[in-house]
Amino acid sequence: MKNQFPQRFNLRATLLRSFTLSLLTPAISFGQDIEEIIVSGQGGVGTIRLRVQNDAGSRLGLSALDLPASVGIISQEEIATKGDYGALDAVTRSTGISASASPGNGGTSISSRGFNGHGSTIYTYDGTRLYIVAGTVTFPADTWTLDRVEVLNGAGSVINGIGALGTTINYVPKKPVLGDSDFEAMAATGSFGMRRLALGGGAQISDSWAFRLDGSHTEEDGFVDRADEQRDVFAGSLLFQPNEDFSMRLSIDYADIAAAPYWGTPLIDGEASYDHRKNNYNFGDGRVDYEDTWTRLHTEWQITPNVLFRNDTYFIDVMREWQNLEEYAYNSDTGLIDRAFYLGIIHDEEQLGTRSDFLIEGDLNGMANRISVGAEFNTIDLNYLNNFSTGGFGVSDSVPVFGFQAGALPITENPTILDYQTDTDQFAIFFDDVLQVNDQVSLVLGLRYDDIDFSRFDLAIGGNPASAFDTGFDAFTWRLGVVYQPTDSLSLYAQASTAADPVTSPISISAGNANFDLSEGRQYEIGVKQQFMDGRAEYTLAYFDIEKEDILTRRPASAITEQIGQQSSNGFEASLRMNPTDVLSFDLNYANINAEFDEFFSGDVSLAGFTPRNVPEQTANLWANWSILPNLQLGGGFRYVDSRYVNDNNTLEMPEYTVFDASLNWSLNDDTTVTLRARNLTDEEDFILAPYGPQQRIFGDPRAYELSIRYGL
């Protein structure tokens, strides 16, 4: 359903020429041993990663070359080089991922492989998953505490359960180790009142004990009026390792976020001027607050040389609050901005869980075999408070475009009160196996069964009597893949897998959705991965085809919502990392996706063949680093996101955008680096993160500058 513009074909042709060149080059490295190479002074951008273990794609300790799936790693050094302080900033530089973030979804929602939102994306922190409420994820809040980010594109339910048809993102925190101590610190200041201070380090306490502490404080006034933000994060971890066969690690991560209470800019005749975008039409004291505490105990016990036991036990406490006037529209008759919907919402969630597995290495009829078999259990309690029954939806007024009084929250007149409580119990058993058939062929098989029991109690409020109901659902998902490696540096793979997505957030189901099953999906994928140029470069190329059934829709002239809808997507993803010289490196990725509804209705109109909202056809990212002098490095790149539809009817469209960033790093000595950074260098006016209603847009920041100093031992 998209219009094709000439510049898109130019972009596609340019990128395809780059990848074609890389595909023609590998023959020079066939049969040669590949050494992992990091280009000196390149800040992690030049690292070659196909041989690095990636846990987003399996629990078997496999590298990207050994996995029949599209996986990627974003290192802490790369995050620091590009200045991606927020998790969303880092993730959206990965292949095929674009932002669709708003304060309502925690500022973290993404689109990937034709599917948008948290219903098709799983976020884990060191392999631990928080079950989400009302499509909201707010952790991790900052990248300072992270060691790396692992990304699995495509179906991942076989690893982490329901809700992973599009993407799985695993944030891996920094951890204590026995050995040398380290310390790092950074300070930064920049446009729009940005200030940032971060410290971290770890050390060995004794022969068996080590610790690590990391923390950061970030605040900014924001480009938009009254859109100031403050972010405080802390991570502490204590390791006990009496011998090489046993270890326990206790970790506590905490984040306190006062996010910008900015819900977008109402368009005037389809546009928003620079001055108009500075206006914040929320109440003067609107607020968006997130507080997350994650406590985890990780245990590993090497029972025998071939059997490893692993357990993660965790308690997650989440408190979120929104108090805002959220929707605005320009009234052409009055020339005023109509404001409506004061929404007060609180999520009070606690999750207690444990996951255990045995990793067993053995022999099956002379073939090497590695298997992970385990189980997990989670119990989640939710208190959901809102002002829906106390008049919040009825709050509205009109104000001038400029020079208006923002007003104050009518929180006394429309209090936020307890609406409902839910209890959710989740249980799963899983099996993951890799069988080395011969020196060149391996088979990967995964199976998982999830069972969820849910109960909800609605209080007697708003003239409605108290009520309660119980429901539940289960899912069996699997993955079967084959990897063929004709050389140590080249992998060709194919896989088929299934996934299951909830029709709504699984711990905040309403009575109207209680009888619906999970939406089921399947994925086929083929691909190739290779390192070449004697280990100085690598590429990946994948083609996928995904189909999702049982999505909610209504037949024409029917008032009954049914699970009869279907959505599909197919396309290809490609990435290239190359270090042509010791002083030059670049990282390039590109995705082209065809997503559409196969069966879906809006009123009496069939939307078959229409594109789902917030899904771009093309995305691309490039970053290059050049060490001009031994102590001076220039870096820069862009992120491109194609146009996206605002609605499923495809009548409203957001323009494509290209955002350029650049940095200049000056190493004062081996320990200290000063960086001058520019974001959105060309001041892209069409930089829109997401829509919020038909004529309301959440814009990214205009051009900004930053000066920082980083010290590390």
* DSSP state letters, 578-634: EEEETTEEEEEEEEEEEEEEEE-EETTEE-TTPPPTT--SEEEEEEEEEEEETTEEE
Which CATH number belongs to the domain containing residue 484 in this structure?
2.40.170.20
pTM as predicted: 0.92
Is residue 324 scored above 60 in pLDDT?
Answer: yes
* Cα angle: 391, vertex 393, 399; to 5 degrees: 110
Is residue 29 scored above 50 in pLDDT?
Answer: no
CA distance 519 to 532: 41
**Which two three-digit tokens encode residue 56?**
């987003």
**Residue 154 is assigned to a structural domain of this protein:** yes
**Residue 25 is assigned to a structural domain of this protein:** yes
CA distance 68 to 543: 12
Identity of the amino acid at 647: N
- 141: confidence class by pLDDT, cuts 50, 70, 90: confident
pLDDT of residue 554: 81
Counted domains in the chain:
1
pLDDT of residue 46: 56
The answer to whether the peptide bond before residue 266 is cis (omega within 30 degrees of 0) is no
**Residue 441 is assigned to a structural domain of this protein:** yes
pLDDT of residue 514: 87
Residue located via tokens 């005749």? 269
Residue located via tokens 């080059």? 25
14-18, 120-124, 143-147, 201-205: least confident range: 14-18
* Burial of 494 from C-beta contacts in 10 A (0-12 / 13-18 / 19+): middle
What is the rounded average pLDDT of the residues 405-425? 96
pLDDT tens profile 598-619: 999 888 889 999 999 999 999 9
Residue 255, number of CB atoms within 10 A of its CB: 22
Helical (H) or strand (E) element with 77: helix 76-82
**Residue 151 is assigned to a structural domain of this protein:** yes
Alpha carbon distances (Å) from 263 to 64, 164, 290, 404: 39, 27, 16, 17
pLDDT of residue 15: 41
Residue 360, number of CB atoms within 10 A of its CB: 17
DSSP state of 37: -
pLDDT tens profile 149-174: 999 999 988 998 888 888 999 999 99
CA distance 502 to 106: 19
pLDDT of residue 180: 82
pLDDT of residue 506: 85
**Residue 1 is assigned to a structural domain of this protein:** no
Is residue 67 scored above 80 in pLDDT?
Answer: yes
* Residue 448 and residue 430 in contact, taking contact as beta carbons nearer than 8 Å: yes
* Residue 456 and residue 421 in contact, taking contact as beta carbons nearer than 8 Å: yes
Neighbouring residues of 511: CB distance < 8 A, sequence distance ≥ 6: 456, 458, 467, 469
Long-range contacts of 676-680 (CB under 8 A, 24+ apart): 676/705, 676/706, 676/707, 677/83, 677/190, 677/705, 677/706, 677/707, 677/708, 678/703, 678/704, 678/705, 678/706, 679/83, 679/703, 679/704, 679/705, 679/706, 680/704
* Residue 395 and residue 342 in contact, taking contact as beta carbons nearer than 8 Å: yes
pLDDT tens profile 371-393: 999 999 999 999 999 999 999 99
For the CA atoms of 77, 78, 80, 81, the dihedral, rounded to the nearest 10 degrees, stands at 110
By DSSP bridging, strand 561-581 and strand 584-599 are antiparallel
Higher pLDDT, 418 or 563: 418
pLDDT tens profile 223-249: 999 999 999 999 999 999 999 999 999
Higher pLDDT, 295 or 462: 295
Neighbouring residues of 90: CB distance < 8 A, sequence distance ≥ 6: 74, 79, 82, 84, 143, 149
pLDDT of residue 603: 81
40-44, 191-195, 626-630, 656-660: least confident range: 40-44
pLDDT of residue 17: 41
DSSP state of 389: G
DSSP state of 27: G
What is the rounded average pLDDT of the residues 656-670? 96
Is residue 8 scored above 60 in pLDDT?
Answer: no
Domain that holds residue 392: 6-712
Residue located via tokens 């009888």? 515
pLDDT tens profile 251-273: 999 999 999 999 999 999 999 99
pLDDT of residue 623: 96
Mean pLDDT of the chain: 91
With CA atoms as reference, report the closest residue to 306 among 244, 370, 355, 375.
Answer: 370
**Residue 405 is assigned to a structural domain of this protein:** yes
Helical (H) or strand (E) element with 677: strand 672-679
Residue located via tokens 């004709």? 486
- 45: confidence class by pLDDT, cuts 50, 70, 90: low
**Residue 329 is assigned to a structural domain of this protein:** yes
